[in-house]
A and B are shown apart, each in its own frame.
Chain A
Amino acid sequence: MRFLLSKPEAIPYFRDLIAEFNASQQDVEVVFDTSSNLQAGFLRGNPPDLGLLNYNMEMARFMARGALSDLKDMPEAGRILPEVQDLVNNLAAYPGRTSVLPYSVMAASVIYNKQIFADNGVEVPETWDDFLAVCDTLKAAGVVPIYSTFKDAWTVSQGLFDYTVGGMVDVAGFYRQLREEGTNVGPDSEVSFAKTLTEPVSRMEMLAENYTNEDAASRGYGDGNLAFSKGEGAMYFQGPWAFGEIAKSGPDLDLGTFPLPMTDDPESRKVRVNIDLAAWIPEDSTHKDAARTFLSYLFQPDVMNAYNESQLGYGTTTDAAPVTDPRILGMKPYFDEARFYQGASQAIPLTIPTENYLQGIVTGAGVEPTLQTLDADWARLALRQ
């Protein structure tokens, strides 16, 4: 049976795991697939037998069209935290099925350099005004407050956009209403990008304009990791996946995380989460039983915990071990209390070039025209799909 996992950082871990599993029994032979094209596989009716991939809108459409089999009867399905399972359902659902089991959740928020904060006498901000004060202090001291990498459009959407929107707007509720409005989304609808998101996105533009490095538009993700590891910025709007890269050139850096405060109420702060890995078995799989056997193997608590510990992920099951790494410990209370949201940019179908639009905003295109374009794109998509 063919097992698809393409997350580059996780490949060595699962390669060892598969070798161990294959050696331990005779019934199921797992073949590791790290690169095949999902869309093409499903299109030809030849998808992998078990997938363990990032779960986003791209995956959600496979579920929405009924291409993934029901796993509700598996004992593993009962162990998933309900609020984590909701993250799956927020994107798309197929009536009556539980086809996707989350395996690991990544929590992301503002990464900050504790040394630079201490040197400038600022503390972790708890309100929007605090946050601006921190930025002003840092800027006045000649420190780049938010190191940004606008050349890679995805860094704009996952960082600045998701954090500002998620801190002010109920993301899941907003998209639920937006989907109900469908083709009506526009100037006259109850909710719309232009109506609901103008305020957070204007703040995002303001932050990009005033508190980022001057060459942000010509810097990419790799440049950002290097610069941040050398202390060229106090804060970095990236997820835990960046820690490993930053550590390559700055192994002794003292880093922490905090959710971006967007209101005056410290209690309203939330962290951004995404389903880093989730397991599913396609309807078209010809080895469903073998796939289920290996899925159960993967979902054993010690296997899951070891993975999450190595990748700085949060466990998705009721019996998962708590996180201990100091770099992500700052987000633990928020995760434990389910004070989290899924990135707003993640809920827009990929066919709409959201990342490009948001990159446009931070490089000078207006907030309102861009959000109106998003509204029009959303309505057009609802018309045809």
Chain B
Amino acid sequence: MATTTATPVTTPHAPRPEAGPRKRRKVEPIYYLFLLPALVLFSLAITLPAVMGIFYSFTNSIGFGEWEFVGLINYQAMFSDPAILQSYLFTFGFAAVTVVVVNVVAFLLAVGLTARIRFKSGLRAIFVIPMVISGIIIAYVFNYLFSNSVPAAGSSLGISWLSESLLANPDLAWVAIVVVTAWQAIPGTLLIYIAGLLSIPGDVYEAADLDGASKLQALLRITLPLVAGYVVINVILGFKNFLNAYDIIVGLTNGGPGTETRSIAMTIVTGFTGGDYAYQMANATVFFLITIVISLVQLRATRGRSAL
């Protein structure tokens, strides 16, 4: 943000009413009017239900009918519930791995697709297609591939671990989920990287070329540092999205085999529809607090870079 003195990148021309001392500046009331519709909608659709949810997490409500206060029992039960703890472990592990896979692949693709190659725009269009298909459809298609096509290929090639469906393997089902999620998430990330790479002026490469830098050196010493801001954006957006993993898992494994691949969002939704309203509201509250902490850490870590 532009308010700290530590950052070299400042944007003095930005009209930020709270930048100066409050007494001297008179705020146009019209700004508040602009804010009003969004504020009202946000409060009604997000804040109010969230507050109600937090309230019910201290009751034994199942969503309707008679209920009573139970204090912190939901929280107490939750922290000893292996199903919930495992869903946290799985979701965070999954999100971390997927972020790395998505960013590495998307970055390399972006480098390729911004180089001087043939059929560049055609290839770009093809690579972006997965982005416009809905997650659940992708999941069902891959479900079929993993259950039938991949095992058939695996057994005809004599690869034993591939001849059984990945989705049925308790130790490897998560790999399938990472692959499919990455397949869907790479295009969005790719587009942001392409925009980043195109923003690098050509003369820095010319200068590097004159100094005798190899292609690899140019990539590591010039390209990477200059798109660092885009990397940060992609990692933050990606991690946030992958923590909410739901539709692809439902379509691929529905949490199985066993409970190996149940994500936090899945645990909350299935518990809620199964009548465990208050309990899963407690779970959602904890998840909410954790994501707030993560966002604060990320905001702090990326301060100054966001101006890129």
Contacts and interface: CB of A to CB of B under 8 A. Distances in A.
A365 B151 contact: no
Contacts of B279: 351, 384-385
A219 B146 CA distance: 11
B12 interface: no
B278 interface: yes
A97 interface: no
B41 to A, nearest CB: 20
Given A356-B255, A384-B74, A365 B170 contact: yes
A233 to B, nearest CB: 18
B147 interface: yes
A153 B254 contact: yes
Contact of B276 (A215, A351, A360, A363): A351
Contacts of A361: 258
B83 interface: yes
Interface pairs A-B: 3 shortest CB-CB: A360-B258, A65-B65, A218-B165
Contacts of B70: 384
Contact of A218 (B164, B170, B254, B272): B164
B256 A377 contact: no
19 contacts: A39-B275, A61-B275, A65-B62, A66-B66, A67-B64, A217-B164, A217-B168, A218-B148, A218-B164, A218-B165, A220-B147, A349-B274, A351-B280, A353-B83, A353-B262, A356-B262, A377-B83, A380-B77, A383-B73
Contacts of B256: 151, 153, 356, 359-360, 363
Nearest to A60: B275
A385 B62 contact: yes
A350 B274 contact: yes
A340 interface: no
Interface in A338-385: 349-353, 356-357, 359-361, 363-365, 370, 373, 376-377, 380-381, 383-385
Size range of the chain A interface in the assembly: 35 or more
A67 B275 CA distance: 13
Interface in A216-236: 217-220
Given A42-B64, A65-B64, A217-B165, A363 B258 contact: yes
A200 to B, nearest CB: 19
A58 interface: yes
B257 A359 contact: yes
Contacts of B280: 351
A351 B77 contact: no
B65 A67 contact: yes
A43 interface: yes
B229 interface: no
A365 B83 CA distance: 15
Contacts of A45: 64
Contact of B65 (A66, A217, A350, A364): A66
Given A42-B63, A364-B170, A350 B273 contact: yes
A295 B63 CA distance: 27
B43 interface: no
B278 A384 contact: yes
Interface string B153-166: 00000000000110
Contacts of B262: 353, 356
B81 interface: yes
A204 to B, nearest CB: 15
B199 interface: no
A379 to B, nearest CB: 9
Nearest to A61: B275
B268 to A, nearest CB: 11
Nearest to A47: B64
Interface in B37-53: none
A376 B82 contact: yes
B258 A351 contact: no
B77 A384 contact: yes
Contact of A43 (B63, B167, B259, B260): B63
Contacts of A356: 254-256, 258-259, 262
A311 B22 CA distance: 74
Contacts of A360: 170, 256-260
Nearest to B166: A218
B5 interface: no
Contact of A61 (B62, B164, B167, B257): B62
Scoring B81, B83, B275 by chain A CB atoms within 10 A of each residue's CB, the highest score goes to B275
A3 interface: no
A148 to B, nearest CB: 12
A151 B173 CA distance: 12
B64 A218 contact: no
Interface string B269-301: 011111110111000000000000000000000
Given A151-B147, A373-B82, A363 B257 contact: yes
B168 A151 contact: yes
Nearest to A363: B257
Nearest to A282: B64
A58 B275 contact: yes
Given A351-B275, A353-B270, A380-B81, A365 B168 contact: no
A163 interface: no
Contacts of A351: 270-271, 274-276, 279-280
Scoring A353, A363, A376 by chain B CB atoms within 10 A of each residue's CB, the highest score goes to A353
Contacts of B151: 215, 218
Nearest to B155: A215
Interface in B116-159: 146-148, 151
A112 interface: no
A361 B170 CA distance: 11
A300 B275 CA distance: 33
B225 to A, nearest CB: 46
A376 B77 CA distance: 10
A307 interface: no
A39 B273 contact: yes
Contacts of B255: 353, 356
Given A61-B275, A353-B262, 15 more contacts: A39-B64, A42-B64, A151-B147, A151-B167, A217-B257, A350-B270, A351-B279, A353-B259, A356-B254, A356-B255, A356-B258, A360-B170, A383-B77, A384-B278, A385-B276
A150 interface: yes
Interface in A40-59: 42-43, 45, 57-58
Contacts of A385: 60, 62, 276, 279
